[in-house]
């Protein structure tokens, strides 16, 4: 069944149809939440809550891109969680990445790579995640959607409910800040990703 048919069935209360949509989009939703939050446990909670919320609000979906509509729920939930964390900052007692291989999502991806390549990609992923944390929420969202998840500008604009020009300007500024941030990691990054040791602004 096509996506529109599944959505119509889910609107009529067919939970199985909605769960097929969940299986289709759960990786994307979890990735966005994980990149936004940098915490797999919180990302899990956000993703589950987002799907529950999406099912309950399904009648408010008036057509268009279901992916954009669903990820708007995920990003809004991430915004709420980030604001809550800002008000009440917490520190995890357990290491998330280096020493805890199971918790690190790096080890879940692309098993065909060599250990060196994997380590290099792991280093780069950690560096990018650190730089993402330094961005503001609005810039981070656009970078995650366009550069990390491969959305086009129109989908990103629909997801954050902003004009196309806003997406362009936010993305340009976010890339520039990421570039400046990643230059600080220098030799830690793989050779093909090393930037010239100059800032452009």
Partner 1 sequence: MTPQIPPRDIKNLSAYLDEQLPERERKRLEARLAEDAILRRVLENLRQTRNALRSVPQVRAPRNFTLTPEMAGKRNFRPRLFTSMQLVSAMASFLFFMVFFGDMIFNVILPGSLPASQPEVITIAEADGESEAEGETVEMDLAAEDSAEESSRIGESVPAEAPAPLAAAEAEFTDTDAPETEELQTESQAEAGADDTTSQAPEAGQAPPGVISTPTIMLESEPDESLALSTPIYQTTPSITAEPELEATPTISITEAEPPASGKEIPWLRIIEGVLAFMAVGSGVSAFIFRRLSRAL
Chain positions contacting partner 1, by CB under 8 A: 13, 15, 18-19, 22-23, 26-27, 29-31, 34, 40, 44, 47-48, 51-52, 55-56, 105-106, 108-110, 121, 124-125, 128, 143, 146-148, 150, 152-153, 168-169, 171-173, 175-176, 178-179, 182, 189, 192-196, 198-201
Question: Least CB distance from residue 120 to partner 1, whole Å?
Answer: 10
Q: Which is nearer to partner 1, 87 or 192 (CB)?
A: 192
Q: Count of alpha carbons within 13 Å of 49, Cβ hemisphere only? A: 16
Question: Least CB distance from residue 176 to partner 1, whole Å?
Answer: 6
Rounded Cα–Cα distance for residues 198 and 3 (Å):
47
Rounded Cα–Cα distance for residues 157 and 159 (Å):
5
Give the position of tokens 């800032």: 199
Q: Which is nearer to partner 1, 83 or 113 (CB)?
A: 113
Question: Least CB distance from residue 93 to partner 1, whole Å?
Answer: 20
> For residue 132, what are the CA distances in angstroms to 23, 29, 94, 165, 191?
27, 18, 21, 22, 21
Q: Which is nearer to partner 1, 82 or 125 (CB)?
A: 125
Rounded Cα–Cα distance for residues 43 and 49 (Å):
10
Question: Least CB distance from residue 86 to partner 1, whole Å?
Answer: 24
Q: Which is nearer to partner 1, 93 or 201 (CB)?
A: 201
Residue 92 has what DSSP assignment?
-
Rounded Cα–Cα distance for residues 67 and 183 (Å):
34
Asked if residues 189 and 123 have their Cβ atoms less than 8 Å apart, the reply is yes
Q: Count of alpha carbons within 13 Å of 101, Cβ hemisphere only? A: 3
Question: Least CB distance from residue 134 to partner 1, whole Å?
Answer: 14
Question: Least CB distance from residue 108 to partner 1, whole Å?
Answer: 5
Q: Which is nearer to partner 1, 15 or 137 (CB)?
A: 15
Q: Which is nearer to partner 1, 40 or 82 (CB)?
A: 40
The residues, any chain, with a CB within 8 Å of residue 48's CB and separated by 6 or more, are: none
């Amino acid at each position: 069944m096509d996506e529109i048919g599944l959505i119509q069935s889910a609107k009529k209360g067919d939970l199985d149809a909605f769960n097929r949509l969940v299986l289709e989009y759960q990786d994307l939703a979890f990735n966005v939440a994980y990149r936004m939050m940098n915490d797999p446990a919180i990302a899990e909670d956000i993703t589950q809550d987002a799907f529950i919320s999406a099912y309950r609000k399904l009648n408010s979906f008036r057509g268009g891109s279901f992916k954009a509509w669903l990820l708007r729920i995920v990003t809004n939930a991430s915004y709420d969680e980030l604001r809550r964390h800002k008000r009440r900052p917490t520190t995890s007692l357990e290491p998330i990445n280096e020493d805890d291989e199971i918790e690190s999502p790096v080890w879940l991806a692309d098993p065909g790579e060599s250990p060196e390549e994997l380590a290099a990609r792991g280093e780069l992923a950690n560096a990018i995640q650190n730089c993402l944390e330094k961005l503001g929420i609005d810039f981070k969202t656009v970078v995650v959607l366009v550069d990390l998840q491969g959305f086009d500008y129109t989908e990103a604009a629909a997801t954050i409910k902003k004009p196309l020009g806003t997406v362009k300007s936010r993305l340009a500024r976010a890339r520039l800040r990421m570039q400046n941030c990643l230059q600080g990691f220098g030799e830690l990054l793989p050779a093909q990703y090393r930037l010239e040791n100059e800032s452009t602004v």
